[in-house]
Chain A
Amino acid sequence: MNPPSPNTFENAVSAIDVVSVSLTLGGKRVLHDIDLRCEYGRITALIGPNGAGKSSLLSLIAGDEQADTGEVRLAGDRLTDLSIAELAARRAVMPQDSVLRFAYQVEEVVRMGRALRDLPPEQDDTVVTASLHAAEIGHLATRDATTLSGGEQARTTFARVLTQQTPILLLDEPTAALDLRHQERLLKSVGKLAQAGCCVVVVLHDLNLAAAHADHLVLLAEGKIQAQGTPWQVLDAERLGNVYRQPVSVISHPQRDCPIVVTCDTPSDEATPDGITTQDGITRAYR
């Protein structure tokens, strides 16, 4: 499915508008001429193999990187025209890895999300409590946040992002460190935010999580958008097989109305000699 042409909805203001953007990082071109619109009220999932440019695209939208060409607009305004405070009022970012350099308590960290927002302070306690609850870290509120497990850290960061109360949420692999239950919980609460009108962009490695929770999938490979649309439209076995260089089958979820992607054997697996060099330059021994 082709991306909607930017001219089609010239009047409507999208939450995020990426217009013919290219990005070079460390001398390597990681994004080629990307056009993307993300709408309010939807979860847009960025999927694709390693090194496809998913996280680069997300940090570009977050304002961390400057595009070589093209421009990014948040709610109609060019990213480069927005101040740091205005950006913080429009978008919250959940990074892949979280840093914490002093022994703040979990609740203090969560509170930091709105510390510099111009939001009514009398709502702080309510919002912080609700965020702690949504991330299921209420019982950790007084814990030293530097002693948490990876999953607890990720949930703390998620709760902090929630307290920022922005209309746009950018999440970079939020579920990577989480167990099954918390993966579901996190994406469900993200879904509620989208229903309430937020625009959510989430990088996901797990295609089945993306299929189950996202409204719109964007498949990236080699810095280009290969396909976008609904999960059923994008998750096509042949296309995924080509993009991931791994044969897959796409079946239907037994309960939910969404596809499931399962890996299949490579037809040539048995014929593969020991120690072949893959295209990544990685030598693997098959025995």
Chain B
Amino acid sequence: MTTAPPRNLLIMRTRRRSRPAAIPVYLGLSVGLLLALIGAAVTGQVPLSLDQILKALITPFETEEGQRLAHVVFWELRLPRALMALLVGAALAMSGAALQGLFGNPLADPGIVGVSSGASLGAVAVIVLQLDTFGLWTLPLGAFVAGAATTALIYVLAVRTPQGDNASLLLIGIAINAIAGAATGYLTYLASTAQLESLLFWAMGSLGSIDWRAVAVIAPIVVLAGWLLRRQATPLDLLALGERQARHAGVDVVRLRRNLVILTALLTAAAVSFTGTIGFVGLVVPHLIRLLMGPGHRHLLPLSALAGGLLLMLADIGARSLDPPSEIPIGILTATLGGPFFLWLIARGRGMGKRA
């Protein structure tokens, strides 16, 4: 076999074209987010015109007569809700991308380290045991704390196994998830009919009860944890070589694993604490971005955040407008879209695994 240097050089020069340039993708997703934001503002039971929204935007603190309803609907209902969709979608998609990288498994999602089942248990416990220590904040707080605590338990147990590796984390995660599921089931069994309604609502996910306070609590967590997660991009890339080879190249695998578990637990717990469980965003979005941009985490993490936010904003518009005046739980919508999409990915041949 001979490889003439000129041919080599030619290929070296053209190699950068093989992956799409990142900037247009960032721009495209940003424009998409802006359009989705406008879409979220104009759709709903009270029709708003672009003109009304513009007026509300220009004068956030004063309202002229006749503009009052539009003002309240935009500022108090639709904008915080759309922003929450953006934050939750971004948090879930980023967590999914990071955990898939950590486990080297494209099927990993934020549920794998127990946040979702723990948060469900916390929420169900608050509802069924009628806790109201912190008033309206009891439910999200209970979900957040239980989600984070479940992850911490899984991590501590996994570290104490003889291997202390990713496989232990995965196996103990499965066991603890099952236990949390059983406890949730037991509490559900005890619940009254009225409580069951709330439970169902939480289990299917909804952005219906979002206000500015919720956004104000979640936004700093998502931004900070997301920024810290993005800083792990290079070690996450190297982890694709396997734990041992990553360590040879300078990755402190134990520390990386701890950081990733903490950050993704934080992101996911924050995301689901106010909105309930919303599935498939964390699973599907990173796949799409990998198909488009390759597996490098430098772009995968931020682009997953943008695309996850966009997807959830669109899903929420759908949830609000498909069956007016009632709202379809958003978790049902994401699962309806995500399931078939995932099947399509699998049908693409090796789409699921290494290619994706």
Contact = CB atoms under 8 A, between A and B. Distances in A.
A141 B296 contact: no
A64 interface: yes
A142 B15 contact: yes
Contacts of A112: 237-238, 241, 249
A241 interface: no
Interface stretch (A3-11, A101-109, A190-198, A270-278): A101-109
Contacts of A136: 1, 3
A104 B356 CA distance: 10
A139 B238 contact: no
Nearest to A112: B238
B240 A102 contact: yes
A142 B295 contact: no
A144 interface: yes
User: Which range holds the interface residue count of chain A?
Assistant: 35 or more
A138 B8 contact: yes
Contact of A117 (B1, B9, B250): B250
A115 B18 CA distance: 21
A88 interface: yes
B242 interface: yes
A103 B250 contact: no
B251 interface: yes
B245 interface: yes
B242 A139 contact: no
Contacts of B234: 115-116
A91 B11 CA distance: 31
Contacts of B240: 99-102, 104
Main secondary structure on A side of the interface with B = mixed
Interface residues of B, number: 39
Contacts of A87: 248, 250
A103 B238 contact: no
A146 interface: yes
B213 interface: no
B249 A142 contact: no
A162 interface: no
A4 B12 CA distance: 47
Interface in A89-137: 89, 91-93, 95, 98-105, 107-109, 112-113, 115-117, 129, 132-133, 136
A89 B249 CA distance: 8
B245 to A, nearest CB: 6
Contact of A104 (B11, B235, B296): B296
B355 A146 contact: yes
Nearest to B295: A102
Nearest to A97: B242
A102 B248 contact: no
A103 B9 CA distance: 23
Contacts of A103: 290, 294-295, 354-356
Interface of B: 1, 3, 5, 7-9, 11-12, 14-15, 18-19, 101, 104-106, 234-235, 237-242, 244-245, 247-252, 290, 294-296, 354-356
20 contacts: A64-B244, A85-B252, A88-B248, A92-B248, A99-B242, A100-B241, A101-B240, A101-B241, A101-B354, A102-B106, A104-B240, A105-B19, A105-B294, A113-B249, A116-B238, A133-B8, A138-B8, A138-B11, A139-B7, A164-B249
Interface of A: 62, 64, 84-85, 87-89, 91-93, 95, 98-105, 107-109, 112-113, 115-117, 129, 132-133, 136, 138-139, 141-142, 144, 146, 160, 164, 181
